Amino acid sequence: MTVLSDMPSSTLVIAPLLVPLLAGILLLLFRARELGGRRAFSQVAVVVQIGLALGLLAATQRGDILTYSLGDWPAPYGIVLVADRLAAWLLLITSLVAGFALWQACQGLDRAGRHFHVLFQLQLFGLNGAFLTGDLFNLFVFFEVLLIASYGLALHGGGQARTRAGLHYMVVNLAGSALFLIAAGLIYGLFGTLNLAHLAQLLTTVPVDNLGPARAALLLLLGVFALKAALLPLYLWLPATYASAIAPVAALFAIMTKVGAYAILRVSTLLLGPPAGELAGLYEGWLLPLALATLVVGMLGALAARSLGRQAAYLVIASVGTLMIAFGLGGREALATGLYYLPHSTLSAAAFFLLAGVITAGRGPVGDHFRPGPDVPHAPLVGALFFLCAILLAGLPPLSGFLGKFLLLRAALDHPGWPWILAMILMASLLGLIALARSGSLLFFRSAAVAGERRPAQTGERRALLPAAALLLLTLGLTLWAGEWLEWTTAIADELLQPRNYIQAVLGGTP
């Protein structure tokens, strides 16, 4: 008890893990018929998590790095949770996306499986844990937690397409997990620690003999994280999985690729900064070209997609590409831009998935295929929201997508290969614009040309648009107060580029 009263800030670090875990376990106790109770409980848990994330954001605002040692074991020996500005920022984005996804799910889609809310909370447990953990092995454990929950969520609703996509998704990720363990074993064998802060210290003095294996281990890690983030050669699992999942689940999955991006960012700034000597900047040479290629391939995929869900999935891949370009460029400005682009891309992709769900439901037998079909109920309203989403995702002025892309282009000017980077980003934007214009006109204009039976508009369907609309409103906030948010993300970037504070906060007085 004294520990609790002495250090309220460190209990704030573990609370985002305890809340979804306990909520998930308690949700198991509800009886099958008590859907209303489960919904309310799950929603309350997510709201509490939003509050906790805001609390952490406030607590880390002045540059304090909060740590929590489990069982009070001192840092390099015990398990440690670390909350810095970056972790708090990602926790907030996760809980917000989760809130809106859950809102949509509670309008009826959660009926299809009894344990939807349990899996949803455990998925949040895994996500929060991955952002907060301070050592590599627990990163693996939390990856597994979020993955096993996501397997269940991806299959929610059943059906052949989901089973097939789910099987691929699971096998690919299990192979990825095996690679992660090999990398972790290699790192433990070389350095005798898995604590990230301790590793950062040890990486400054790597004996020449160990440089090769260390490089191999770190690049294996990059491969694993790239798989989770869906970078270019490793993105093939994503489109089918995201396109076949139900809309709220796909919206929540929009944050999952960001876990991989977060892990890459954390490792490349904390472990592979300038103090790492020979190993410094190990990821940079790989990230930028792969990210550029991912962006172009994502947009080409969006252009070639034959259904709305698949197009949204490819747009997620393209947004990962944009994000990784920012992280690959690496400077203070580029990182700040990337961290501003991250919530924008996550929120707008989630909104797009939610909207796609409404459109799919509204078009009846045609579903989300790009074929002329019956009018969507409330077509003008849905169309307006779709238009807003398209502007955000294609990066057209005046919304946050444009700001993010503009800042990214400005940050890229310092890079020696800037003409290539600029050309590829702008070309990808054009491709995205064409893709979205094509799908929008197909869905909303060509529909009238077909004498499809028009379903009578129901009041419930207007309500189904609320979560997507609210998410879009949030991205408007991101646009209107862009200056303040950029200041905040610049502060995050500053903290990331000074890993000394992180190491000191975790290891404290230990040598």
d(CA 19, CA 91): 13
- Using CB under 8 A as the binding rule, whether residue 36 contacts another protein is answered as no
CA nearest neighbour of 17 among 155, 146, 107, 129: 129
| Closer residue to another protein (CB): 61 or 163 | 163
Residues 6+ apart with CB under 8 A from 36: none
> For residue 509, what is the enclosing H or E element?
none
Q: Which of 28, 40, 112, 171 binds another protein (CB under 8 A)?
A: 171
CA nearest neighbour of 246 among 145, 160, 155: 155
- Using CB under 8 A as the binding rule, whether residue 441 contacts another protein is answered as no
Distances (CA, A) of 72 to 75, 165, 246: 9, 43, 42
| Closer residue to another protein (CB): 185 or 397 | 185
User: Could you write out the DSSP letters of every residue in 75-100?
Assistant: TTTS-EEEE-HHHHHHHHHHHHHHHH
| Closer residue to another protein (CB): 80 or 288 | 80
Judged by CB under 8 A, the chain residues 278 through 317 that form the site for another protein are 306-307, 310
CB of 376 to another protein, least distance (A): 17
d(CA 223, CA 237): 15
Q: Which of 148, 219, 442, 469 binds another protein (CB under 8 A)?
A: 148
Residues 6+ apart with CB under 8 A from 51: none
CB of 174 to another protein, least distance (A): 5
| Closer residue to another protein (CB): 408 or 443 | 443
Judged by CB under 8 A, the chain residues 176 through 195 that form the site for another protein are 177-178, 181-182, 184-186, 188-189
Q: Which of 117, 162, 228, 258 binds another protein (CB under 8 A)?
A: 162
Q: Which of 25, 47, 70, 167 binds another protein (CB under 8 A)?
A: 167
CB of 137 to another protein, least distance (A): 6
d(CA 201, CA 183): 18
Q: Which of 55, 113, 289, 367 binds another protein (CB under 8 A)?
A: 367
d(CA 326, CA 335): 6
Distances (CA, A) of 391 to 218, 221, 400, 424: 38, 35, 9, 19
Q: Which of 36, 37, 108, 159 binds another protein (CB under 8 A)?
A: 159
- Using CB under 8 A as the binding rule, whether residue 361 contacts another protein is answered as no
d(CA 303, CA 431): 7
- Using CB under 8 A as the binding rule, whether residue 365 contacts another protein is answered as yes
| Closer residue to another protein (CB): 184 or 503 | 184
Whether the CB-CB separation of 103 and 467 falls below 8 Å is answered with: yes
| Closer residue to another protein (CB): 157 or 432 | 157
User: Could you write out the DSSP letters of every residue in 151-167?
Assistant: HHHHTTT--HHHHHHHH
Q: Of 2-10, 149-157, 325-333, 432-440, which segment contacts another protein by CB under 8 A?
A: 149-157
Q: What angle do CA 66, 46, 104 make, to 5 degrees?
A: 145
Judged by CB under 8 A, the chain residues 459 through 498 that form the site for another protein are none
Q: Which of 144, 219, 286, 470 binds another protein (CB under 8 A)?
A: 144
CB of 154 to another protein, least distance (A): 10
Judged by CB under 8 A, the chain residues 219 through 248 that form the site for another protein are 240, 243-244
CB of 160 to another protein, least distance (A): 4
Maximum separation of any 2 CA atoms in the chain, in Å = 76
| Closer residue to another protein (CB): 167 or 430 | 167
Q: Judge residue 451's burial from the number of C-beta atoms within 10 Å of its C-beta, 0-12 exposed, 13-18 middle, 19 or more buried.
A: exposed
By the criterion CB under 8 A, which residues form the site for another protein?
137, 141, 144, 148, 151, 155, 157, 159-164, 166-168, 170-171, 174-175, 177-178, 181-182, 184-186, 188-189, 240, 243-244, 306-307, 310, 365, 367, 369
